[in-house]
Amino acid sequence: MGELDTNTGKVKLELLADGLRSSEKIKIAALGISMLPVIWPGDLLTIQQVPWSDIKRDDIVAIVRDARWSTHRVVELFPDHLLTRGDAMDEIDPSSMRAQVLGLVVRIERNGKEFIPSRRRTLGERLLAWLLCHSARTRSLALRMHHAKTARNSLEVAAKLRPSTTR
């Protein structure tokens, strides 16, 4: 979830919404942990505007509410609003009206690899999400491991880009 201060947040959210209106697709970095293990902090999310009728149960959508944006999974869909919840969260979010839905997360990029988020989660993913939700120690360990792997991948990429000094 992305939290923004009141004035700057409103401007950034307006830019985000304007970007979607003008190009129908934007990329934005994930900040929070509510969608672990599917979305990790630092993942680059491609959000695409889609017709309301294309949004289905278990899709991951981007929503704006109270100067914040979040990407959560649809748990129930109605003609004029929907209910969402983060995979690593217990509680269902407050209802989101159509106007609050920015779009659908259609691609996730992590460590140079891209994948399309699935509506179907494996039993292992569901169990890991439950564990990350209910165990602060497990969540902390998983985030430290993710950070270490991301840092290592960044160093490897930088090393490949560095000019060779051999003669």
pTM assigned to the model: 0.81
Residue type at 83 in one-letter notation: L
Looking at per-residue pLDDT, the higher value among 16 and 66 belongs to: 66
Total tally of structural domains belonging to the chain: 1
Structural domain contains residue 93? yes
Give the domain range for residue 134. 2-161
What local confidence, expressed as pLDDT, does residue 42 receive? 92
- Burial class of 31 by CB neighbour count within 10 A (0 to 12, 13 to 18, 19+): middle
Residue 57 lies in a domain: yes
At 123, the amino acid letter reads: L
35 is a domain residue: yes
Of 130, 128, 12, 6, nearest in space to 66 by CA: 6
133 located within any domain: yes
Q: What confidence category does residue 67 fall into, taking pLDDT thresholds of 50, 70 and 90?
A: confident
Q: Is residue 167 part of a domain?
A: no
In a domain, 78, yes or no: yes
Evaluate if residue 138 carries a pLDDT over 70. yes
CATH number at residue 44: 2.10.109.10
Contact present, 146 and 154 (Cβ < 8 Å): no
Q: How confident is the model at residue 142 (pLDDT cuts 50, 70, 90)?
A: very high
Specify if 92 maps to a domain: yes
